Structure 1
Amino acid sequence: MEHNHSVTKLNNNRALIIALGLTVSFFIAEVVAGILTESLALLSDAAHMLTDITALIIALVAVKLSQRAADKVRTFGYYRFEILAAAFNTVMLFVVALYIFYEAYHRLQNPPEIQSIGMLIVASIGLVVNLISMRLLTSHKDKSLIMKSAYLEVWSDMLGSVAVIVGAIIIKLTELNWVDSVIAILISLWVLPRTYILLKESINILLEGVPKGIDLKKLEQALLEIKGVLDVHELHVWAIASGKICLTAHVIIEEKSDCESVLPIMRTVLASQFGILHTTLQHERKKCLNEQVLCNFLE
């Protein structure tokens, strides 16, 4: 069965553009409303929504750039842009979260009067925007990791909107204005672990570490269990971007086995069990002694 990938990419772009337009519009409205109502919770939620905007932009640009063919300068294409942008996003989020903590500390000492009705209205509109964006991205979230990450960003921001709504209702009923600062801190505490995980994964990819979800020992064992494979060494696994995993390895295959038959089986195992499609397997006569000693290749 043939699949029209151009239609899929077009639909992805359309969903991302609409979701981005809605999110940017409400982000501006929430910042203005947060200033006018003096609600730190609204400003905190707006900062969180900024992560959604960044995630949607990254996803949209990544989808666009992924359509560009690799060239002689960038042989892997432009996938690494996603990681660089994600790393920048996390640094920005840490700065925003620290500012919110700082501002919340001072407000707890002298809580300002909060316009809870305005806070409630704006947060409710934000919840509607989040639900619409989630609906747009739901059918696309399982098609790629980029779309899934964008969906999860919007989903988590929806929880932030719910928190602000709850805070506004509590302030209206109890007139405890310090609840606004507490809600702001809770939203920041929700964002920080996610930004740390994102930063950790981004740095791991930039350092060409073993991708998350890949157990190197299990991978090596799976290759050694293939008939004819005697040894696997100089094994390297890294990711160009999320979901774009590469592997290189030196392989010793017993002389009675045909390497032209064994190597395709190894590639099939790597693709089916570990999702690794870009592989370079080097067939050798004997194991390398160390990194400085050249291997003896088969003629």
Structure 2
Amino acid sequence: MTHDHSHAASDTSKRRLLLAIGIVVCVLAIQVIGAAVSGSLALLADAGHMLSDLIGLIVALIATIVAARPATDRQTFGYRRAEVFGALINGVILVVVAIAVTIGAIVRLTSAQAADVQSVPMLVVAVVALVANIGALLLLRPAAQHSINMRGAYLEVLGDLLGAGAVIVAAVVLMTTGFAPADAIASLAIAAMIVPRAFALLRDVVRVLSEAAPADTDVAEIRRHITETPGVVAVHDVHVWAITSGHPVFTAHVVVDAQVFENGDTGRLLDELGGCLSQHFDVAHSTFQLEPAEHAAHEDELHR
């Protein structure tokens, strides 16, 4: 049942990504032409960000397809970690685009010759980009809540939506006041919006790859739940990490009362512990080593 649900979710993510890719390709072409016609650096910067969106969405699509492959004897957890590598590539692309846009804007602002920017085509193209990005954002938003890979794709499109908004503001300022630096300032604003999201995504990637406990997981609370389970004496050697976003994994050594072994209640206890983690902490994959007190007493200190 879980496999079917995961497969269906993967198919839905692929369809959403394909539709978003189609939207981005069309808008990218319009933005490149619009930037050439208008001479707008902000529009070109947004086109560059849109190109990173396209690359990021394609990477996300490939990662989604790879992640759906079943587990093997070599890849015992399957290929879900591919989503994390997809998010890593997205994050790096965002940082590179932000740096390139910043350099271009600074060069234009410090140039003695004012740039000739046509505000009308700049505004028209930016409005088209804004509407298209809203559509792509609505497509990706549901899946972004459950997958770090899809969240990376969602953040790409969200950044471009904000960028289109900045271009619209710059175009309106140019039309009403003739203030030429507005275009370059809008480019800097786009770069400033990209960087925090890029580092937030990369922070999540590092958390997963370093096998840190998921941010929303309270390990102390899990310990408390386990030790309060009837028959449990103590718990140690606790490890919590994630294969990818939304897929936490848990292992622990659980010291149990001798009567649990004598009465043959180990199966019941394992079901109870697994059910506790699944219901209260959304951990579907948990492994417990049940051991008597005399065994726990001589375990290596490194396992405590």
Which TM bucket (shorter chain)? Answer: 0.7 to 0.9
- The answer on 1:283 being equivalent to 2:290 is yes
Classify 1:247/1:147 alpha carbon distance in 2 versus 1 (closer, same or farther; 3 Å). Answer: same
Q: Show the counterpart of 1:129.
A: 132
- The answer on 1:274 being equivalent to 2:281 is yes
Classify 1:290/1:100 alpha carbon distance in 2 versus 1 (closer, same or farther; 3 Å). Answer: same
Q: Deviations over 1:69-113 (max 9, x none)?
A: 111221111111111122122223222211211221121123412
Is the contact between residue 253 and residue 259 of structure 1 (CA under 8 Å) also seen in structure 2? no
Q: Show the counterpart of 2:223.
A: 220
Is the contact between residue 23 and residue 49 of structure 1 (CA under 8 Å) also seen in structure 2? yes
Q: Deviations over 1:108-160 (max 9, x none)?
A: 12341211111111111101211222343456556756545544543443222
Moved more, 75-84 or 3-12: 3-12
**How does the TM-score come out when normalised to structure 1?**
0.87
Distance 2:8 2:217 in 1: 32
Classify 1:197/1:140 alpha carbon distance in 2 versus 1 (closer, same or farther; 3 Å). Answer: closer
Q: Show the counterpart of 1:72.
A: 73
Distance 2:301 2:287 in 1: 19
**How does the TM-score come out when normalised to structure 2?**
0.86
Distance 2:144 2:194 in 1: 21
1:190 to partner: Cα distance = 0.9
Gaps of 5+ in 1: none
Query: 1:279 is paired with a residue of what secondary structure?
Result: strand
- The answer on 1:113 being equivalent to 2:116 is yes
Alpha-carbon RMSD: 2.7
Classify 1:277/1:283 alpha carbon distance in 2 versus 1 (closer, same or farther; 3 Å). Answer: same
Q: Show the counterpart of 1:256.
A: 259
Distance 2:92 2:4 in 1: 38
Distance 2:202 2:2 in 1: 38
Classify 1:132/1:61 alpha carbon distance in 2 versus 1 (closer, same or farther; 3 Å). Answer: same
Distance 1:151 1:96 in 2: 16
Q: Show the counterpart of 1:201.
A: 204
Distance 1:236 1:149 in 2: 27
1:41 to partner: Cα distance = 1.3
Amino acid at match of 1:224: T
Distance 2:233 2:28 in 1: 58
Is the contact between residue 245 and residue 276 of structure 1 (CA under 8 Å) also seen in structure 2? yes
Is the contact between residue 68 and residue 80 of structure 2 (CA under 8 Å) also seen in structure 1? no
Q: Show the counterpart of 1:52.
A: 53
1:38 to partner: Cα distance = 2.5
Distance 1:140 1:87 in 2: 18
Is the contact between residue 12 and residue 140 of structure 1 (CA under 8 Å) also seen in structure 2? yes
Distance 1:223 1:105 in 2: 57
